[in-house]
Amino acid sequence: MEHNTPTLPQLFKALGDEIRLVALLLIVDQDEICVCELMTALDEDSQPKVSRHLAQLKKMGILQDRKHKQWVFYSISPRCPNWLSDLLKAQLLIQSDFLQPFKTKLLAMGERPQRTENCCI
């Protein structure tokens, strides 16, 4: 799959969606996360909806994925611009109150591998 380098307006439009923004921040915080974990953290029942948001970020070169059995795990792509990666890391600290409810839901799942066993069936 060919990745296009996103323009600044495209990047900020992508970050303007709460699902994509929260997913990115959780991925930065956790290093890697699977779709079902994001569904729990986002309180989102639709796996296709979450996957579409992640696919958009992957197409832009911000995320990469890795498959393990039937699960798909996402992490920040090495192609992600350094300034964007730095911005997201800074936002983890600055916006901790915003992200906390999502992290609480995620962390209530337990630790890996138990966490993936609980959701990725």
CATH of the domain at 31: 1.10.10.10
- Structural domain includes residue 97: yes
DSSP bridge partners of 106: none
Query: What is the per-residue pLDDT for 3?
Result: 57
Compute φ and ψ for 87, nearest 5 degrees. -60, -45
Q: Is residue 23 part of a domain?
A: yes
- pTM of this structure: 0.87
| Residue numbers of the domain that contains 47 | 8-114
Token pair belonging to 51 = 């996957």
Q: What is the mean pLDDT of each run of 10 residues along the chain (121 residues)?
A: 72 90 95 94 94 95 91 93 92 92 90 64 54
- 1, part of any domain: no
Could you give the number of structural domains in the chain? Answer: 1
Domain annotation covers residue 57:
yes
